[in-house]
A and B are shown apart, each in its own frame.
Chain A
Amino acid sequence: MLTTLKYEFMKNRVLYGISLGILAIVELVYLAIVPFRSIKDHTIVIPIFLLMIAGLFIFFMLLFNGITMFSRDLKSKAGYLVYMTPVPVPSILLAKILLVFLSSVIFGLGYLLLGIADFEILGSIAGDASGDFARFIPEIFKMLRSSGAVPRIAGRFVRYAISVFDFLSITYFSIALGNTLLRGKKAGAMISFIVFVAIVILNSFITNMAGMSNLVASILHVVIGILCFLATSWMITKKIDL
């Protein structure tokens, strides 16, 4: 699985480079503007807003790319090199999911650190005038030092891991369905999309169900994710057609 993870990373390295490049440019704009703008005229909000948009854009691009790579491997000849290796399909799928998870977590942590550094710079330049911005960092550190912070952060981390696994498993399931069992069938793509929407609705129903604890809801999400993962593995193993 690690070998597959390595090559999935290699395939995406240009995208990662572009993402970091975009972020670096926006960060440079921020660093160039901060010393010359007054915090009072609110123009400093523009580069901060750009940084936030860039972060969100890259985050969703990482998720979206995880989906398109999987789809491309099942539709085009690029999949030959992946699926002619003596690696079991679940291992290939896990590597793809793990890459999205790890890349988004690493990006998220890096982005958080960058944000902290940017707010520090802003605070040091604007002083008291930075108002709410200046209070942001101490609030974060206060929150981190508070009792129960570590389990709370670990809980969020686990919940994020479940969300990524759940979302990608469902998406991969519907893509695999359209490219294996329903391949070449009339309305095959439509049916697989409807299946995807139905599972997403079921998922949100579980999340919003009254009286259900977070733990039970998370367990049900994991169960749905595992079922989709197993079904995807089965479909690709038994019905692949490149």
Chain B
Amino acid sequence: MSVICKNLTKRYLFKTAVDQLNVTFEPGHIYALLGPNGTGKSTLMKMLCGLTTRTSGEILVEDHPFTYRDKANVAFAPTEFIFFDYMKISDVEKYYRDYFRDFDSNCFHRLLEELELSPSMKVKTLSSGMLAKLKIAATMSRQAKLLLLDEPLNGIDLLTRESILKTLISHADPSRAMVISSHMVEELEPIVDTAVFMKEGRIVLQTDVESLREKEGLSIVEKYRQIYGNTDMKEAI
């Protein structure tokens, strides 16, 4: 399932979060959506899963405009706490199973085991690292065609980051596209094949990571520094 954004724009009263953006997400690829804070990465993801509507432009899913039905093929893991207060991890499983036909309970339980989570844990009492793992487990257990992961490595320790990255790699699939936004550019580099750099709501560069290395001799981190300059270097690494 390819998703095409054509002149996609999201304008607020005093700010344009996404500005005339053109990008295509093809199955079989893992995209790194990169850029400093406030460049429109999260807004783009929310538009792609229907949580925010566009001001103008188009989102085409297999050549038809995005509708609520397409949410069945898009799995989104936002950076915020999204679960209901009453939920245990087992309730999260039931919720996803009830709403998403592509949700695989066996896969979910396997991931819980790998990520050292228990179905009886109360979601409200989980640490930020555990919550990040839970969001990954729930999202990756869906066989969705487009996976959107917003800052999945944010605020969590090294070992948890490693286990999340391992999970992401193991779920890469030629039939689906994975879009990951993160400030941990260095850690993302080994698992992505395409880097999309955003600045002020626009895409300033979309490049194949391999060809970036071959043609320019640059890693994503180095390219990031080149594009955003020294002011964002700390954020980049």
Partner-B contacts on A (CB < 8 A) = 3, 6-7, 10-11, 13-14, 77-81, 83-89, 184-185, 237-242
Do A86 and B99 contact each other (CB < 8 Å), given the known contacts A11-B84, A184-B12, A239-B53? Answer: yes
Contact yes or no, B52 A241, CB < 8 A: yes
- Specify which chain B residues have a CB less than 8 angstroms from the CB of A240 in the assembled complex: 50-53
- The closest CB in chain B to the CB of A76 belongs to B80
Residue in A closest to B12 when the chains form the complex, CB atoms: A184
Contact between A81 and B68 (Cβ–Cβ < 8 Å)?
A: no
The answer to whether A86 and B72 have CB atoms under 8 Å apart is yes
Known pairs A78-B84, A83-B50, A84-B76; list 17 more (Cβ under 8 Å).
A3-B99, A7-B95, A10-B84, A11-B84, A13-B86, A80-B76, A80-B78, A81-B82, A81-B83, A83-B51, A84-B50, A86-B68, A87-B68, A87-B99, A88-B68, A89-B68, A240-B53
Partner of B13, one of A7, A79, A86, A184: A184
Q: Please list 17 pairs of residues, one from A and one from B, whose beta carbons are closer than 8 Å in the complex, sorted by A's number.
A: A3-B98, A7-B98, A11-B86, A79-B51, A81-B82, A81-B83, A81-B84, A84-B49, A84-B76, A86-B69, A86-B71, A87-B99, A89-B68, A185-B13, A237-B53, A240-B51, A242-B51
- Beta-carbon contact of A241 and B53 below 8 Å: yes
**CB-CB contacts of B91-109 with A at 8 A, as 1s and 0s?**
1000100111000000000
Interface of A is mostly: helix
Residues of A within 8 A of B52 (CB): 240-242
Expressed in whole angstroms, the minimum distance between the Cβ of B110 and any Cβ of chain A is 23
Contact of B86 among A14, A80, A84 (CB under 8 A): A14
Residues of A within 8 Å of B76, CB to CB, are: 80, 84
C-alpha gap A14/B52 in the complex (Å):
30
Residues in chain B within 8 A of chain A (CB atoms): 12-13, 46, 49-53, 68-72, 76, 78, 80-84, 86, 91, 95, 98-100
Instruction: Contacts A7-B95, A85-B99, A237-B68 given; indicate if A80 touches B50 (C-beta within 8 A).
Output: no
The 8 A-B residue pairs whose C-beta atoms are closest, nearest first, are A86-B72, A86-B71, A80-B82, A77-B80, A85-B99, A242-B51, A184-B13, A241-B52
* A89 surroundings in chain B (CB, below 8 A): 68
- What are the residues of chain A within 8 A of B68 when measuring CB–CB? 86-89, 237
For the complex formed, measure the closest distance between the CB of B97 and the CB atoms of chain A, giving whole angstroms: 10
> Complex formed: what's the CA distance from A81 to B53 in Å?
16
CB distance from A68 to the nearest CB of B (A): 14
Q: CA–CA, A58 to B13, complex, Å?
A: 40
Minimal beta-carbon separation of B170 from chain A (angstroms): 24
Which of chain A's residues have a CB closer than 8 A to the CB of B71?
Answer: 84-86
Residues from chain B with Cβ under 8 Å of A13 in the complex? 86
Q: How far is the CA of A10 from the CA of B13 in the complex (A)?
A: 36
B99–chain A nearest beta-carbon distance, Å: 4
Nearest CB of chain A from residue B20's CB, rounded to whole Å: 19
Distance to closest chain B CB from A185 (angstroms): 7
Contacts of A6 in B (CB 8 A): 98
Complex: A184 Cα to B52 Cα, angstroms: 14
Residues of A within 8 A of B70 (CB): 86
Give the residue of A10, A78, A238 whose beta carbon is less than 8 angstroms from that of B82: A78
Instruction: Specify which chain A residues have a CB less than 8 angstroms from the CB of B51 in the assembled complex.
Output: 79-80, 83-84, 240, 242
In angstroms, how far is the closest chain A Cβ from the Cβ of B8?
Answer: 14
Give the most central of B12, B13, B51, B100: most A CB within 10 Å.
Answer: B51
Residue of B nearest to A11 (CB): B84
- Give A77's nearest chain B residue, CB to CB: B80
With A3-B99, A87-B99, A185-B13 already in contact, the answer to whether A77 and B53 are too (CB < 8 A) is no
A9 to B13, CA, bound (A): 36
| Nearest residue, chain A, Cβ from B10 | A241
